[in-house]
């Protein structure tokens, strides 16, 4: 229960217990090993089912849009975790077991997040997800709602970037992948989602879902810190003038700008596009996202040559597309594709 209390006495062997990565790992052991099944058992589905059933269809739809991108996002990350483990063990980082130890904890946690959402969605929200059960690795696709918005594209991009980074990628590739995942997906898209769920919980208090989100966001906080530490290492080497690391900050900024387009689209998809029945408020969501991005990119990483107006422009471009987008039609299209895949898988 209180494992790290014994650290000073047990001393350090080959593991550097002073490393931030070790601390993150240790905190994962202490805080991240919650049991999703036990959580579900302890809190139970009943109260949430009751609230869910009392919701109007558009309110259910708003939750469904948020949860779709969470479950597909967690699923995508669980798949990519093995690539992150490979990437952090490459010689581009000062080789150390501590990063791999943390990455292994991250892999477990992402799998557990997928497990929690899988349990929740199947037991509470299933009426909104007739097309859900097909694993993307067994010939399936993302949930149609995820595919219809920027998040779906972002997760596809994440897979490509993580693969490039893990399989012979250089520091610039690694910086792109880490920015996309730790800053974009976890740092803004997911945290924007928590912001949204906090607002939605006021109107529709789904207790078990809230508890799950609290554990998940606690785990994600460590993942984000881990990602920022990795990026700081790469930036440090670039600033020292190590030739192979030149271009790292530029890649971080370019990726962040690309990702804010996907994120803005998703933000609109879960709020303005459906009339925001549970009162998230798109304006507040945008402001929160901007702050989260600013904290990470400017305060923590302090990247050089960033042009904040590029960031706003990318969000503006995404918003322009979003306004003209008929998401319902896109969801229907993906529904159709999903149905075909399901039949094919069943055959």
Partner 1 sequence: MTKLTDIEGTDFTASDEEIEAAVEDAAADLGMAPERVSEEVAYILDSGSGRVNNEGVAGAAVGSNADTHDDPRLEALDVFKLRQEL
Partner 2 sequence: MSAQQEEETYELEEYWPTTAWLEVYEADLTASEELSEKMSGWGQGFNGDFVFEINNLPIEENTVGDLPEEVWSALDTGIRQLPDGVLDTVLEDAPEEVQNGIEEREGPLAERAANELLETRIENAPDKVWEGLRRVMPEILNDLLDELEENVTDEGHVYAWIGLEDGDCTGTDTLMELDERDKGFVLTGEYEQWVRLVTGELDVVEGIMSGELELDGDMQKILQYSDAALLMTDVASETSKRFLF
The interface region with partner 2, picked from 99-107, 193-201, 203-211, 279-287 by CB under 8 A, is: 279-287
Rg of the chain over all Cα atoms, to the nearest angstrom: 20
Q: In the complex with partner 1, which residue's Cβ is closer, 202 or 343?
A: 202
Among residues 37, 236, 295, 321, the one that binds partner 2 under rule CB under 8 A: 295
- The nearest distance, CB 320 to partner 2, in angstroms, is 7
Please, which of residues 238-267 interact with partner 2 by CB under 8 A? 264
Among residues 35, 283, 329, 339, the one that binds partner 2 under rule CB under 8 A: 283
**Rounded CA separation 100/54 (Å):** 45
- The nearest distance, CB 118 to partner 1, in angstroms, is 17
- Using CB under 8 A as the criterion, which residues of the chain lie in contact with partner 1 when the complex forms? 1-2, 5, 20, 23-24, 27, 30-31, 34-35, 38-39, 42, 191, 194-195, 197-199, 201-203, 205, 207, 210-211, 213-218, 220-222, 224-225, 288, 292, 295, 300
Q: In the complex with partner 1, which residue's Cβ is closer, 134 or 185?
A: 185
**Rounded CA separation 308/297 (Å):** 10
Whose tokens are 């900024």? That residue is 253
The interface region with partner 2, picked from 20-28, 40-48, 123-131, 287-295 by CB under 8 A, is: 287-295
- The nearest distance, CB 289 to partner 2, in angstroms, is 9
Tokens of 23: 């601390």
Query: Quick one: residue 204, left, alpha or beta (phi over 0 = left, psi -120 to 50 = alpha)?
Result: beta
- The nearest distance, CB 316 to partner 1, in angstroms, is 24
- Taking CB under 8 A as the rule, does residue 293 contact partner 2? yes
Contacts of 31 (CB under 8 A, 6+ apart): 218, 219, 222
What does 130 interact with, of partner 2, partner 1, none (CB < 5 to 8 A by kind)?
none
Question: How many of the chain's residues bind partner 2 (CB under 8 A)?
Answer: 25
Contact 133, 155 (CB under 8 A): no
Q: Give, to the nearest 10 degrees, the angle between helix 97-123 and helix 36-43.
A: 40
- Taking CB under 8 A as the rule, does residue 199 contact partner 2? no
Sequence-ordered alpha helix ranges (H) in the chain: 7-10, 20-31, 36-43, 46-54, 57-88, 97-123, 144-148, 150-166, 171-178, 191-203, 207-239, 248-269, 282-294, 308-324, 327-346
Q: What is the 3-state secondary structure (H, E, C) of 67-129?
A: HHHHHHHHHHHHHHHHHHHHHHCCCCCCCCHHHHHHHHHHHHHHHHHHHHHHHHHHHCCHHHC
Q: In the complex with partner 1, which residue's Cβ is closer, 171 or 184?
A: 184
The interface region with partner 2, picked from 123-131, 178-186, 297-305, 330-338 by CB under 8 A, is: 297-305
Give φ, ψ of 301 to 5 degrees.
Answer: -85, -25
- The nearest distance, CB 291 to partner 2, in angstroms, is 5
Torsional sign, CA 161, 166, 168, 169: positive
- Residues of this chain that interact with partner 2 (CB under 8 A) are 264, 268, 272, 282-283, 286-287, 290-291, 293-295, 297-299, 308-309, 311-313, 315-316, 319-320, 323
């Amino acid at each position: 229960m209180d494992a790290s209390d014994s650290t000073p006495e047990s001393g350090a062997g080959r593991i550097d217990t002073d490393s931030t990565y070790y601390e993150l790992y240790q905190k994962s052991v202490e805080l991240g090993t919650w049991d999703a099944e036990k959580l579900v058992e302890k809190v139970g589905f009943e109260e949430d089912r009751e609230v869910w059933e009392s919701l109007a269809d558009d309110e259910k739809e708003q939750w469904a849009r948020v949860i779709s991108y969470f479950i597909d996002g967690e699923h995508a990350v669980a798949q990519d975790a093995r690539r992150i483990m490979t990437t952090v063990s490459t010689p581009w980082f000062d080789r150390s077991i501590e990063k791999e130890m943390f990455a292994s904890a991250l892999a477990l946690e992402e799998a557990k997040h997928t497990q929690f959402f899988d349990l929740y969605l199947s037991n509470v929200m299933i009426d909104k997800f007739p097309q859900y059960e097909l694993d993307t690795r067994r010939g399936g696709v993302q949930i149609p709602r995820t595919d219809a918005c920027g998040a779906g594209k972002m997760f596809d991009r994440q897979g490509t970037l993580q693969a490039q980074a893990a399989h012979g990628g250089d520091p610039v590739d690694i910086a792109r992948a880490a920015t996309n995942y730790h800053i974009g997906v976890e740092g803004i898209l997911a945290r924007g989602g928590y912001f949204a769920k906090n607002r939605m919980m006021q109107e529709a208090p789904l207790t078990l879902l809230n508890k799950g989100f609290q554990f998940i966001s606690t785990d994600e906080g460590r993942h984000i810190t881990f990602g920022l530490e990795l990026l700081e290492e790469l930036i440090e080497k670039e600033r020292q003038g190590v030739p192979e690391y030149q271009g790292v900050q530029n890649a971080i900024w370019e990726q962040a700008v690309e990702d804010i387009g996907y994120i803005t689209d998703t933000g609109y998809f879960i709020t303005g596009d459906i009339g925001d029945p549970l009162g998230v408020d798109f304006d507040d969501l945008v402001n929160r996202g901007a702050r989260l991005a600013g904290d990470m990119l400017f305060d923590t990483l302090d990247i050089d040559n960033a042009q904040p107006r590029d960031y706003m422009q990318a969000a503006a471009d995404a918003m322009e597309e979003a306004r003209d987008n008929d998401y319902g039609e896109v969801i229907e299209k993906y529904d159709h594709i999903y149905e075909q895949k399901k039949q094919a898988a069943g055959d």
